[in-house]
Amino acid sequence: EDKVVQSPLSLVVHEGDTVTLNCSYEVTNFRSLLWYKQEKKAPTFLFMLTSSGIEKKSGRLSSILDKKELFSILNITATQTGDSAIYLCAVYYAGGTSYGKLTFGQGTILTVHP
């Protein structure tokens, strides 16, 4: 069965800390891995990764994919209280019996204290 597993499930840090969120996956017909940030509303898109070893970067956030070991990490440096949210990892796959959909992990709840 296709699955996406995130760790840790929750994380509490102080402002200025650096955090690393993990996502491992087992899916067939992999197309891409995506990271979303969810506050008290809809998930908002952060990154999409399709190739191994190529870091995607946006401000203090960065992410990389390892398609051989089937995992991705999301790094947040110099965390701020506004980074407090649920971070969702999702894998998009299409083929076989699926026309294409995202399968999400459980999410990592990040809490940043001042």
Partner 1 sequence: DTGVSQNPRHKITKRGQNVTFRCDPISEHNRLYWYRQTLGQGPEFLTYFQNEAQLEKSRLLSDRFSAERPKGSFSTLEIQRTEQGDSAMYLCASSPSTVYTGELFFGEGSRLTVL
Taking the CA of residue 29 as centre, how many other CA atoms within 13 Å lie in the half-sphere pointing to its CB?
13
Distance CA 93, CA 35 (A): 15
Binding span for partner 1 by CB under 8 A among 13-21, 41-49, 51-59, 69-77:
41-49
Nearest approach in angstroms of CB 87 to partner 1 is 10
- If the CB atoms of residues 41 and 114 are measured against partner 1, the closer one turns out to be 41
Q: Does residue 41 belong to the site contacting partner 1 (CB under 8 A)?
A: yes
Q: Does residue 99 belong to the site contacting partner 1 (CB under 8 A)?
A: yes
Calculate the alpha carbon distances from 48 to 29, 42, 55, 90 in Å: 16, 17, 10, 9
Helix/strand/coil for 59: coil
Query: Which residue in the set 3, 60, 101, 113 belongs to the binding site for partner 1 (CB under 8 A)?
Result: 101
Q: Does residue 28 belong to the site contacting partner 1 (CB under 8 A)?
A: no
